[in-house]
């Protein structure tokens, strides 16, 4: 493996992981909107039991999704930092 192949491979991987982290951020934003929708259902339709229950379900699911995607973003950033550190280490050894 030549140095240029190594650089190209790592740059491709780093760009891909950054793109995936952006996608996770978009999903996190969407789930925040879903949680807000659940809150609005609870707030405005507290007299109608079906919509109240639906609001609680939507809000809980949105919150759980936000936790899961936030966890993924956290570990994705840590993994990206490891890949960048490994790339820098391999560049110095060449």
- Four-residue CA torsion sign, 73, 77, 78, 80: positive
Q: What is the pLDDT of residue 7?
A: 94
Do residues 14 and 81 make contact, with C-beta atoms less than 8 angstroms apart? no
Do residues 11 and 32 make contact, with C-beta atoms less than 8 angstroms apart? no
21: nearest Cα among 77, 64, 71: 77
Q: Is residue 93 part of a domain?
A: no
Q: Is residue 59 part of a domain?
A: yes
Q: What is the pLDDT of residues 25-52, one digit of tens each?
A: 999 999 999 999 999 999 999 999 999 9
Q: What is the pLDDT of residue 40?
A: 97
Q: Is residue 91 part of a domain?
A: no
pLDDT band of residue 1 (cuts 50, 70, 90) is: confident
Q: Is residue 42 part of a domain?
A: yes
Q: Is residue 51 part of a domain?
A: yes
Q: Is residue 90 part of a domain?
A: no
Domain count, the chain: 1
Alpha helix (H) ranges present in the chain?
3-44, 49-93
Domain range for residue 38? 3-85
């Amino acid at each position: 493996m030549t140095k240029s192949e190594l650089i190209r491979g790592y740059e491709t991987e780093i760009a891909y992981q950054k793109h995936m982290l952006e996608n996770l951020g978009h999903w996190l934003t969407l789930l925040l909107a879903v949680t807000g929708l659940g809150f609005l259902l609870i707030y405005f339709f507290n007299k109608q039991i079906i919509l109240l229950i639906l609001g609680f379900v939507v809000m809980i699911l949105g919150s759980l999704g936000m936790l899961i995607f936030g966890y993924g973003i956290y570990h994705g950033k840590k993994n990206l930092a490891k890949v960048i550190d490994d790339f820098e280490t391999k560049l110095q050894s060449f």
